[in-house]
C-alpha cells in the first residue's frame, strides 16, 4: 500500500520524540505531516472501493483480488485513523504541559 511505510516511520519517530520530551520535560517538536500521509493512504483505498463498486455493477460478486484488498484494507484504515488520533492527542498533551 502506497505511503504505509512512510506512515509507520513517521509514527515511530514521533513516539520516540514524545518519549524523549516526556523524559526531559520539554516541548516536543512539531508533528510530522501524518495527516497528509494518512490522506494519501485513504485516497488509495478510495480507489479500491471504486474499483470494487465497478466489479459489483458488472455482476462480478465473487472472490476477486480487489474484493480481498477492500476487506483487508478497510480494517487497516480504521486502525491507522486510531493511531493518528492517539499520537496526535499525546503530542497535544505534551505541548500543553511542556
Q: What pLDDT, in 10s, does the model give residues 62-72?
A: 788 888 888 88
Q: Is 2 a member of any domain?
A: no
For residue 8, tell me if it sits in a domain.
no
Structural domain contains residue 90 = yes
49 domain residue, yes or no: yes
Spatial neighbors of 92 by CB under 8 A, at least 6 apart, are none
17: enclosing H helix or E strand: helix 4-24
**Distance between CA 32 and CA 70 in Å, rounded?**
27
pLDDT of 51: 92
- Confidence band of 56 (pLDDT split at 50, 70, 90): confident
Amino acid at each position: 500500500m502506497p505511503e504505509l511505510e512512510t506512515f509507520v516511520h513517521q509514527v515511530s519517530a514521533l513516539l520516540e520524540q514524545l518519549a524523549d520530551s516526556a523524559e526531559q520535560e520539554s516541548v516536543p517538536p512539531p508533528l510530522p505531516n501524518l495527516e497528509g500521509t494518512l490522506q494519501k493512504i485513504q485516497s488509495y483505498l478510495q480507489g479500491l472501493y471504486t474499483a470494487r463498486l465497478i466489479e459489483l455493477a458488472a455482476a462480478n460478486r465473487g472472490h476477486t483480488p480487489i474484493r480481498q484488498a477492500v476487506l483487508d484494507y478497510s480494517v487497516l484504515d480504521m486502525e491507522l485513523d486510531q493511531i493518528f488520533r492517539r499520537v496526535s492527542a499525546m503530542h497535544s498533551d505534551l505541548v500543553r504541559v511542556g
